């Protein structure tokens, strides 16, 4: 049995508490209350997951739950998506401001407005105040990505939307419940403007159930400790995160570090849009300045203030001790800015439909690249973009009556970047989610929707190679039954693959296409765009693995043999990239021949690159795989 106390697990020693807000803070009570908060956030999460109606929430878990104090400071979150929780305070503050002096027990305020501090229009925020004996003390908040939000096409992340009116119904902060009573006319107005009304009403009820669960549990917690003592411990929790984050950042050398990345396209045919950042580390603070990034795009690939704040912080929070509780104490050490009218911070009424996917991924990428210059051991190689994850929809004729259906299909998700310490994760989906999203099982997909998944498997050689390798990419093949399948490609990172670090190579970038099964001809689609898949045709996605870290010639040779055996990498890659010689039939390592081949490859290659690639549009996947008669479609429209 472990003898480590809960306090020790938090990294707290007897002398640590002199630095906290109150010298009378008891370490055991501190640990208990911290974990009670985490338990409340987890129960909110499970309540939403288990009662949602759409697969994007119930199965893929594209949502987040958190508790904030009355000052809109994040107190806790659990099993959440960082693109949500690193920025929820921005939209919550807009809600507070909109209803200042007009917040009552039993209220529910909602919003999906990107220009009110939300991430993008597809994320629907519900918040309820927590009152105790007439005093407003906390907020329970959820943010859930909606299956549909009333865009001009059947997706909640429309890449070709030209403005806010094409991308969706915009809801600035508005009350759905007031003093415990539903404003049914307002709720009906919302539901009348979205597809799949019954499903989305079920999801709304699930989000309401989640925040009401949080409210109920918070009242119980206040009952147990009293508002004064609980407030003291909250300050101690935030100060604890503050102090530890401060110590971590001080270990990164002061300086300003710059980096660049590129968005494949803006959804309207404009390609390789620059995202640039200058990351300044000074004492215990990090400031990210995105000045120099491209002007805002013509389609839905533009950023918001909420996404910028989240994306500036995600790489930094992954670079500090993961045991530090993620709350306002961490976030107060990170600031960011960008000129209005750029791809990072669009000017109203530009569409920001895809903001959480791109430019969010590129914003995070440039911060990671900058960190690689400042603190290489804390950074990571590139994460695969949110690609080969289409919004698919159609009509299901399997039942007694035809019924509309739709899903955001996460199954083709890309791989994560390698770090100095470990290989990247497979199926990371997007660095905005950092592994918090799930895929829908093949069996569940085929039961829920009129589709057939012919293949769903690891794509050999899809990752970047290195001493540690990127997480693998995925090949997925989907056919509709007897009715067409609408396929809205929503993503990025195909033409601009995830980068490799310190000798590591990039991931493949990957792509997606429509295949005509009778002729074998293919129509390749860019990372954004629309294709209709008819019966007798197939949609195929090949996602990128993450970037590699370090020199591939330093990778454990026995591991390479095992990867070749398992078809994670090819025999040729094992020999030509990793310099490993093995017997083709048994995969047994030839130690002497491997040492000689690695020495030869090292001499021929010369010094390794710090970061690669360094130019836009560098993926060769399309050129390598397209056949005569195939077509390439850049941002095709419905």
How much is the pLDDT for 13? 44
Query: Is it the case that residue 606 has pLDDT exceeding 80?
Result: yes
Across the chain, mean pLDDT equals 95
pLDDT digits (tens, 9 = 90+) for 48-68: 999 999 999 999 999 999 999
Give 275's contacts (C-beta < 8 A, 6+ positions apart): 260, 261, 262, 263, 290, 293, 294, 343, 344, 359, 362, 363, 365, 366
How much is the pLDDT for 638? 87
Which of these, 609, 615, 612, 605, lies nearest to 579 by C-alpha position?
605
What would the mean pLDDT of 560-578 be, rounded to a whole number? Answer: 98
Strand order in the sheet with 271-282: 255-265, 271-282, 285-289, 334-337
How much is the pLDDT for 22? 58
Query: Is it the case that residue 219 has pLDDT exceeding 90?
Result: yes
Other CB atoms within a 10 A radius of the CB of residue 110 amount to: 24
Other CB atoms within a 10 A radius of the CB of residue 53 amount to: 18
Using an 8 Å Cβ cutoff, are 510 and 494 in contact?
A: yes
- Tell me whether residue 117 is exposed, middle or buried, using C-beta atoms within 10 angstroms of its C-beta: 0 to 12, 13 to 18, 19 or more: buried
Distance CA 227, CA 221 (A): 9
Percentage of the chain exceeding pLDDT 70: 96
What would the mean pLDDT of 182-193 be, rounded to a whole number? Answer: 98
How much is the pLDDT for 356? 97
How much is the pLDDT for 6? 38
Give 564's contacts (C-beta < 8 A, 6+ positions apart): 570, 571, 573, 574, 580, 582, 587
Give 595's contacts (C-beta < 8 A, 6+ positions apart): none
Percentage of the chain exceeding pLDDT 90: 94
Confidence of residue 18 (pLDDT cuts 50, 70, 90): very low
Q: Return the domain boundaries, the chain.
A: 6-244, 380-551+608-638
Which of these, 66, 80, 83, lies nearest to 308 by C-alpha position?
83
Upstream peptide bond of 348 is cis (omega within 30 degrees of 0): no
Using an 8 Å Cβ cutoff, are 232 and 21 in contact?
A: yes
Confidence of residue 600 (pLDDT cuts 50, 70, 90): very high
What would the mean pLDDT of 599-611 be, rounded to a whole number? Answer: 92
Confidence of residue 482 (pLDDT cuts 50, 70, 90): very high
What would the mean pLDDT of 125-141 be, rounded to a whole number? Answer: 98
Query: Is it the case that residue 105 has pLDDT exceeding 90?
Result: yes
Question: Which tokens is 280 given?
Answer: 């300044």
Number of H helices, E strands in the chain: 17, 23
Query: Is it the case that residue 19 has pLDDT exceeding 70?
Result: no
Distance CA 261, CA 594 (A): 36
Using an 8 Å Cβ cutoff, are 107 and 181 in contact?
A: no
How much is the pLDDT for 563? 98
Give 189's contacts (C-beta < 8 A, 6+ positions apart): none
Mapped onto helix, strand or coil, the DSSP state of residue 236 is helix
Cα angle 479, 483, 488 (rounded to 5 degrees) comes to: 65
Using an 8 Å Cβ cutoff, are 69 and 227 in contact?
A: no
How many residues are there in the chain?
638
Distance CA 71, CA 136 (A): 10
Question: Which tokens is 583 given?
Answer: 């017997």
How much is the pLDDT for 561? 98
How much is the pLDDT for 104? 98
Gyration radius of the chain's alpha carbons: 25
Q: Which pairing describes strands 334-337 and 285-289: parallel, antiparallel, or unpaired?
A: parallel
Rounded alpha-carbon distances, angstroms, from residue 522 to 351, 434, 539, 567: 31, 32, 10, 25
How much is the pLDDT for 78? 87
Query: Is it the case that residue 592 has pLDDT exceeding 70?
Result: yes
Confidence of residue 24 (pLDDT cuts 50, 70, 90): confident
The predicted model scores a pTM of 0.94
Distance CA 286, CA 309 (A): 12
501 bridge partner residues: 549, 611
Rounded alpha-carbon distances, angstroms, from residue 421 to 380, 424, 470, 507: 9, 10, 12, 18
How much is the pLDDT for 79? 84
């Amino acid at each position: 049995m472990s003898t480590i106390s809960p306090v020790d697990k938090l990294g707290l020693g007897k002398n640590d508490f002199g630095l906290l807000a109150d010298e009378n803070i008891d370490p055991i009570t501190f640990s208990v209350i911290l974990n009670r908060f985490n338990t409340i956030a987890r129960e909110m999460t499970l309540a939403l997951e288990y009662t949602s109606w759409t697969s994007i929430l119930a199965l893929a878990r594209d949502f987040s739950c958190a508790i904030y104090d009355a000052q809109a400071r994040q107190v806790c979150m659990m099993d959440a998506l960082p693109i949500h929780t690193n920025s929820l305070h921005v939209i919550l503050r807009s809600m507070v401001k909109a209803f200042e002096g007009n917040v009552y027990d039993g209220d529910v305020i909602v919003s999906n407005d990107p220009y009110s501090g939300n991430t993008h229009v597809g994320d629907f925020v519900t918040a309820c105040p927590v009152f105790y004996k007439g005093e407003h003390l906390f907020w329970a908040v959820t943010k859930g990505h909606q299956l549909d939000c009333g865009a001009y096409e059947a997706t909640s992340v429309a890449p070709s939307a030209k403005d806010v009116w094409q991308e969706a119904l915009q809801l600035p902060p508005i009350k759905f419940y007031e003093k415990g009573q539903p404003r049914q006319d307002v709720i009906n107005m919302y539901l009348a403007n979205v597809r799949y009304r019954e499903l989305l009403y079920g999801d709304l009820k699930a989000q309401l159930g989640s925040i009401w669960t949080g409210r109920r549990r918070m009242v119980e917690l206040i009952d147990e400790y009293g508002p004064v003592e609980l407030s003291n411990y909250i300050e101690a929790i935030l100060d604890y995160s503050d102090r530890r984050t401060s110590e971590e950042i001080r270990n990164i050398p002061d300086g300003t570090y710059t980096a660049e990345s590129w968005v494949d396209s803006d959804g309207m045919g404009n390609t390789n849009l620059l995202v640039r950042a200058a990351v300044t580390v000074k004492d215990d603070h990090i400031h990210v300045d995105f000045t120099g990034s491209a002007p805002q795009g013509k389609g839905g690939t533009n950023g918001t203030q909420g996404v910028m704040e989240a994306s500036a912080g995600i790489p930094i929070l992954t670079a500090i001790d993961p045991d530090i509780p993620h709350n306002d104490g961490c976030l107060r050490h990170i600031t960011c800015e960008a000129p209005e009218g750029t791809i990072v911070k669009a000017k109203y009424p530009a569409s920001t439909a895809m903001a959480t996917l791109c430019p969010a991924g590129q914003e995070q990428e440039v911060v990671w690249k900058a960190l690689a210059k400042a603190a290489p051991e804390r950074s990571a190689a590139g994460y695969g973009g949110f690609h080969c994850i289409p919004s698919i929809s159609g009509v299901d004729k399997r039942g007694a009556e035809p019924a509309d259906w739709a899903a955001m299909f996460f199954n083709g998700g890309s791989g994560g970047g390698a770090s100095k310490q470990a290989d990247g994760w497979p199926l990371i989906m997007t660095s905005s989610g950092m592994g918090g999203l799930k895929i829908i099982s093949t069996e569940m997909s085929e039961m829920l929707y009129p589709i057939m998944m012919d293949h769903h498997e690891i794509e050999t050689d899809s990752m970047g190679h290195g001493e540690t390798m990127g997480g693998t990419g995925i090949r997925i093949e989907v056919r509709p039954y007897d009715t067409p399948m609408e396929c809205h490609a929503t993503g990025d990172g195909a033409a601009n693959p995830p980068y490799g670090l310190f000798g590591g190579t990039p991931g493949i970038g990957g792509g997606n296409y429509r295949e005509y099964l009778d002729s074998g001809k293919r129509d390749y689609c860019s990372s954004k765009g629309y294709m209709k898949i008819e019966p007798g045709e197939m949609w195929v996605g090949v996602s990128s693995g993450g970037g590699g870290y370090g020199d591939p010639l330093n990778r454990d040779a026995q591991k390479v043999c095992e990867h070749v055996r398992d078809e994670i990498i090819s025999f040729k890659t094992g020999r030509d990239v990793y310099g490993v010689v093995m017997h083709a039939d048994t995969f047994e390592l030839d130690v002497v021949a491997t040492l000689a081949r690695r020495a030869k490859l090292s001499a021929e290659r010369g010094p390794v690159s710090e970061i690669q690639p360094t130019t836009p549009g560098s993926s060769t996947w399309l050129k390598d795989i397209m056949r005569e008669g195939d077509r390439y479609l850049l941002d095709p429209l419905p």
